[in-house]
Amino acid sequence: MLRRLALTFLSAAGFASALAGCPPENGNTPDVDAGSDAAPLPPCAAGIVGDPNKDPVLELRALKADGTDVPLNNGDDLAVLFPPQGGRVSFVGVRVLNLDTCGVMLLGAARDTISKQVRLDGRTVNLKKDPDGWATTGRGTKTNIEDSGEIGDYANIPLCPNQWAEQDIYDKPFEIEVTVTDRRNKTVTKTIAVTPRCAEPGQKETSCKCLCRNGYVLGETCGEDAGVDGSVL
């Protein structure tokens, strides 16, 4: 079962500290330097993907408004979406190699390039092994976000209401930083530049631009989904 962390107002150093202090899903200390008498780690469906003796490889993914999962590369647009918990978030996932896929700690952060303020979401997930030998978060193949039962496998990075960035959280440059740590304490981090976009049409787009604009006041009416503090999930 997922266990989530909702952390806000963290610097880059705080982001790393939060990762270092986050225990694995079962509450046990990660198996960093197990001796011959140490109990083996419990198995899970996917296990280790790739070569455990090589450096881990990390690629980023994200969900679009229609629920599909797409690669997320440096310079790409990032969909800002209306989640079940309210506010606005971006769903950021991963694709990894040379890691243990069980009880993975996934931390995703958005950083304002002006203020350097950060919004962060962390959770423990089991990744899924793909036919090509890599492992991924949920595959995001539903027709819309509300119907996708896999959004809990993604970092639900809280972006709006905007009470933290010194610019609009749409159509402006931001950074996304994702850190993955497996239960053997292997860690890999990737940081890219993105441009968040209010990605849902109609009233949801209008509400998004209201909630995510610079200077938004909490409680201000922005439509049917206004007033939920996106920094606390």
Q: pLDDT tens digits, the chain, 233 residues: what are they?
A: 334 443 433 433 444 444 443 333 333 333 333 333 445 555 677 789 999 999 999 999 999 998 899 999 999 999 999 998 889 999 999 999 999 999 999 999 999 999 999 999 999 999 999 999 999 997 655 545 554 557 989 999 999 999 999 999 999 999 999 999 999 999 999 999 999 999 999 999 999 999 999 999 988 888 755 444 433 33
Short-list 133, 155, 150, CA closest to 48: 133
* Residue position matching structure tokens 């809280």: 158
User: Other CB atoms closer than 10 Å to residue 105's CB: what's the count?
Assistant: 24
| 118 close to 14: Cβ distance less than 8 angstroms | yes
The identity of residue 175, as a single letter, is: E
**What is the full DSSP assignment across 20-52?**
HTPPPTTSPPP-SS--TTSPPPPP-SS-EES-T
CATH 2.70.50 fits 4-22+47-211, yes or no: yes
Give the list of residues 6+ apart from residue 132 with CB closer than 8 angstroms, or none.
Answer: none
Domain extents in the chain:
4-22+47-211
- Give whole-number Cα distances, 232 to 124, 134, 146, in Å: 18, 32, 20
| pTM confidence score | 0.78
Short-list 88, 90, 99, CA closest to 72: 90
